[in-house]
Structure 1
Amino acid sequence: MTVANYTFVTLSIALFFVSVPSLAQNDTPAGEFTECADAGLHSSLEGTECARIEAPLDYAHRVAGKVELFVRKFPAQKESEGQLWMVAGGPGESGASFYPFIQTVRAAAPGFDLLIPDHRGTGFSTRLCAEEEDPLSEGGGALVGEEWGACFGALNAQADRTRAFTISNAAHDLDLLMTRFDTGKRAYVYGVSYGTQLILRMLTLGMQDDLDGVILDSLVPLESNGQLDLSHRSAVTDSVGREVLRECDERPDCRRYFPGSAEEAVRLLLNRSDIEELAGARLKYRLSAMLDFPATRAMLPNVIAGLQAGDPSWLEHATDELASMGSLFEPYAQGIPSIPLVSLISSSENNARPTLTAQMVEREEEQYIFASPLPSLLLSGGIPTYEPDTSFGKSPKRVPPMIVLHGTLDPKTPYQGAQEHVAVLEAAGNVTLVPVARAPHFVLMAAPDAFERSVRAFIDEAVVAP
């Protein structure tokens, strides 16, 4: 992937993760929890404790070296009953993606210490580009200006090191952290999106399979399903978008804006000669972004009706609403995802079509009315990739008690993919799929009441549907 190909994704990420200067660069002594250096910078971090430990760069010992792993603890507000480890999504997102939602998690797991690591390549853990992605560098955790060239040059110059930032090595990291800080009390692990893949990789490798429970949010499809990988994201998004529009058709108050159907209205908009002048470039991408949050998804009929009438104000309002989501993450210096890690892992393990071309992407997008920029970002070039190890495509032989929380209108990890994956996991243990009606991706953020209710019931050993 070339540097130029990152322009759109960098701008998109900026809508959700905005870094600010901070004293948060962690100077905690290795291997023990002490008050975090940034604990006083935001109320959500008050009382947090941080630690760092060293881990092998490559657990298979093909490449020498070490990485440093950062973990933040939100101590229980009373005597601790155990631990809930939280594994961020991405790939490329740090643990900071959970910080704004800590109160919801506390309510779901009262009495538990919440431990949130930055997995390798993210946040305050060792980065792929140590200087250019430093949270205190010119662009913070984001790459800016000449940092792009310097970073990509280093990734290629140290290709063996780059190829050690794999899912399996990250899974070993998680096992190392959980073992190192085990208190002997009850222990659960929660992961969202890519975090579910990382947790399942850890279990597939035979580690931590004696936990008290596993909570998976927005479960990734089976790695062996080549029709639901990242290269097919536009098809997934389009399917969910059309389902939302069909819901509109079934409601008289919504359908009255569209004499034919809402789908037909969008197709007519996309074919207008003045659509870019009216709505800007890549309207399909802008509409698909609105599916990520219930509030913006609800604006879709207004956006479409407004554009039909030549008025883009609802589209602008929805875009502003998406941008405002970034304010949740402004206090956290490690909040910006790592684009190099996104590229490395996505291209190496989550792209079933490595020969995908720009022409193929363009042809496929023609049939969609909602589309994602992600397939274009998988196009080859830029940094080294690696061959997945033998654990790729396999499932755990044994799993602890597990619940899977999944939105039925998830435009990123499709609900049908979760159903298929759960059917396979059921052979390894007690697994319960909890569908969250009409929720999009990331149930903790999008449907906090359902999350709290389901997780608390699970920890109390009585799974109930929301």
Structure 2
Amino acid sequence: MFDRLRSVAVAAASCSVALVLAACAQSTPGSAAPDPPEPDPGLTRFYEQQLSWGPCGEYAVSAMDQQTYANPALECARLEVPLDYAAPDGETARIGVLRQKATGERIGSLLMNPGGPGGSGMSLAASLSGRLTESPVAQRFDLVGFDPRGVGASTPTIDCLNDAEWEAERADLDVDPSPEGVAQTEAENQQYAQRCTDRSGGPEVLANVGTRDVVRDMDILRQALGDEKLTYLGYSYGTRIGSAYAEAFPQNVRALVLDGALDPTQTTVERTVDQNAGFQQAFDAYAADCATQPNCPLGTDPAQATANFQALTRPLIDQPAAAEGGARTLSYPDAVTGTIQALYLSDYWPVLSRGLSALAAGDGTILLRLADIYNDRGEDGHYGNSIEAFIVISCVDEERITDRAEQAELIRRSIEAAPFRDDGRGVVAALDPCAFWPAPPTSEPHVPQVEGLPPTLTVSVTGDPATPYQAGVDLAEALNGGLLSVEGTQHTAALQGNQCVDDIVSSYLIDLQLPPDGARCALQ
């Protein structure tokens, strides 16, 4: 159905708030902020609401959440926002919010988002609260995560597939490039768009789940938390939320850490091709490391690794591999997805090697479980809505491709950039679900207008597979902010245990001190 690398499964960069594409004048750090816009009287009741905090158990949407949300140091609430900001007296949405209060002298709240689009900020904050107990960041800030509208514990909730339909979708190959194959795939994609519409609350819900609306929710949340200015940490797609907020509300920003960014001026096509190239770079780095290990499943010559991977996985198109003792099977799409999941972090490389070796022996269990992680499938067989939310939000955030020739060229360039993903059957130039979406896009690529924005910090990893390094350089320049370059091969780095990175990020968040020009750290 939908190629999850079509529009960046873990990051996005078209961070506009309905402003036109333009090479706009840039601000300089410390320049005077424009006068704040006059508040909309229709939003007063939302900005003045008081959050009712309580236990987090009822907010859990997965078994993992149930475990982490049981921490008595965590408290949760729901924020009410307009479903459609053009009609604030109409229907409302409710945003799930989780926090752990600062353990020391409090500066304010640190809002955070893990990416996606479709990732749960509540789950991220709950996870970080346990890891950062002794961190100066947790001492000085309330750690606050929110599930963006449509995601996780927030309502209305995006819903497109039931669990049985998810299993069928993962087994669906969509590798037939013939006119009949293209027509079949497009019919499936059109059906997917209709299911999302019917099961998520109708076209009006799908029209208002994009980043344009999330940043307005975040400003109401900032006020409800009692913060005069926003302090924010956004990973991956969360950098789109952060830079879009900076453009919409520069006068309300205290500090932004944007980790795993993409160039906000890039088109969807440019970004997709670059991301595919990033994953091929990570695959090549894995293959080079694997070649030095005993019994590497891709051989001892890294130059042959892509061909060897294709030889190992392409037979799954005709004959899926048994997995979990025969209870399930590994499809070709899941083998590639499981590999992509392992390429996000070099710590997963030994797991990937074991998975590929097991596949060579006829057992697809390890790769299948890696694909389960990517697809948000719990051990009980129930799927979360993060991938569905990713597709839905992308369809209103990204540029829409409705020309099959343009779609074919995108797929051709993507395969050329990441040949390890090439199924060898040719280009299937089917339009994806976004072409059939019942609501128009609400964002487009442009240079952000951020006059008066205080200095921000962008973190970019040199070997990031999902959000290539140069995009972080470009975003830092677009925001006239600081840049921390991190040597390594993984997706994002802030507050993940590297002392060099964490010290710089903490110093910026707490003291608003940017690192010197050219600052670099190295991952172990």
TM-score by length of 1: 0.73
| Counterpart in the other structure of 1:348 | 396
Post-superposition offset of 1:113? 0.8
Residues 445 and 173 (structure 1), Cα distance of their counterparts in 2 relative to 1, 3 Å cut: same
| C-alpha contact 2:236 2:261 (8 A) present in aligned 1 | yes
| Counterpart in the other structure of 1:18 | none
* The one of 214, 220, 232 aligned to 1:176: 220
Unpaired stretches in structure 2, ≥5 consecutive residues: 10-48, 61-65, 170-190, 322-330, 424-428
CA distance in 1, matches of 2:410, 2:225: 45
CA distance in 2, matches of 1:252, 1:43: 36
CA distance in 2, matches of 1:305, 1:338: 30
1:216 paired with 2:242, answer no
1:267 paired with 2:310, answer no
| C-alpha contact 2:84 2:208 (8 A) present in aligned 1 | yes
Residues 393 and 64 (structure 1), Cα distance of their counterparts in 2 relative to 1, 3 Å cut: farther
SS at match of 1:100: helix
| C-alpha contact 1:175 1:208 (8 A) present in aligned 2 | no
Query: For 1:22-61, what aligned pairs fall within 5 Å after superposition?
Result: 31-38=50-57, 42=67, 45-61=71-87
| Counterpart in the other structure of 1:160 | 204
CA distance in 2, matches of 1:237, 1:410: 8
* The one of 435, 442, 445 aligned to 2:485: 435
| C-alpha contact 1:404 1:434 (8 A) present in aligned 2 | yes
| Counterpart in the other structure of 1:394 | 448
1:89 paired with 2:115, answer yes
SS at match of 1:68: strand
Post-superposition offset of 1:381? 4.7
Residues 273 and 64 (structure 1), Cα distance of their counterparts in 2 relative to 1, 3 Å cut: closer
Post-superposition offset of 1:77? 2.1
Amino acid at match of 2:421: A
| Counterpart in the other structure of 1:17 | none
| C-alpha contact 2:114 2:234 (8 A) present in aligned 1 | yes
Aligned residues: 422
| Counterpart in the other structure of 2:144 | 115
| Counterpart in the other structure of 1:411 | 465
Amino acid at match of 1:190: L
Deviations 1:261-295 (A, max 9, x none): 31313314424797435975245444333201222
Deviations 1:236-281 (A, max 9, x none): 32233224435667x698999845x313133144247974359752
Deviations 1:69-102 (A, max 9, x none): 2211211123433221112311122223402222
1:204 paired with 2:255, answer no
Residues 112 and 156 (structure 1), Cα distance of their counterparts in 2 relative to 1, 3 Å cut: closer
1:296 paired with 2:348, answer yes
| Counterpart in the other structure of 1:287 | 339
| C-alpha contact 2:395 2:441 (8 A) present in aligned 1 | no
| Counterpart in the other structure of 1:25 | none
Query: For 1:420-459, what aligned pairs fall within 5 Å after superposition?
Result: 420-426=474-480, 431-444=481-494, 449=499, 451-459=501-509
1:236 paired with 2:278, answer yes
Residues 300 and 51 (structure 1), Cα distance of their counterparts in 2 relative to 1, 3 Å cut: closer
Deviations 1:90-133 (A, max 9, x none): 1122223402222334415023111212111112222255xx58
Deviations 1:6-57 (A, max 9, x none): 6999xxx9xxxxxxxxxxxxxxxx7324222418953553222222232222
| C-alpha contact 1:212 1:400 (8 A) present in aligned 2 | yes
* The one of 105, 110, 127 aligned to 1:100: 127
Unpaired stretches in structure 1, ≥5 consecutive residues: 14-29
Amino acid at match of 2:144: L
Residues 96 and 372 (structure 1), Cα distance of their counterparts in 2 relative to 1, 3 Å cut: farther
Amino acid at match of 2:241: L
| C-alpha contact 1:73 1:115 (8 A) present in aligned 2 | yes
What's the % identity of the aligned pairs?
17
Which segment drifts farther, 412-421 or 441-450? 441-450
Which segment drifts farther, 388-397 or 434-443? 388-397
CA distance in 2, matches of 1:397, 1:244: 42
SS at match of 1:219: coil
Post-superposition offset of 1:304? 6.4
Amino acid at match of 2:127: P
Which segment drifts farther, 298-307 or 340-349? 298-307
| Counterpart in the other structure of 1:127 | 156
Amino acid at match of 1:369: P
Post-superposition offset of 1:189? 0.9
CA distance in 1, matches of 2:388, 2:507: 38
Post-superposition offset of 1:204? 0.8
Amino acid at match of 1:418: G
Query: For 1:323-362, what aligned pairs fall within 5 Å after superposition?
Result: 336-351=384-399, 353-355=401-403, 360=409
SS at match of 2:504: helix
Amino acid at match of 2:468: P
| C-alpha contact 2:120 2:147 (8 A) present in aligned 1 | yes
SS at match of 2:420: coil
Residues 62 and 112 (structure 1), Cα distance of their counterparts in 2 relative to 1, 3 Å cut: closer
CA distance in 2, matches of 1:97, 1:343: 20
| C-alpha contact 1:230 1:350 (8 A) present in aligned 2 | no
CA distance in 2, matches of 1:213, 1:445: 16
CA distance in 1, matches of 2:504, 2:484: 8
Residues 108 and 199 (structure 1), Cα distance of their counterparts in 2 relative to 1, 3 Å cut: same
Post-superposition offset of 1:191? 0.9
Amino acid at match of 1:294: S
Residues 144 and 364 (structure 1), Cα distance of their counterparts in 2 relative to 1, 3 Å cut: closer
Residues 59 and 298 (structure 1), Cα distance of their counterparts in 2 relative to 1, 3 Å cut: same
Amino acid at match of 2:349: R
TM-score by length of 2: 0.66
CA distance in 2, matches of 1:395, 1:163: 24
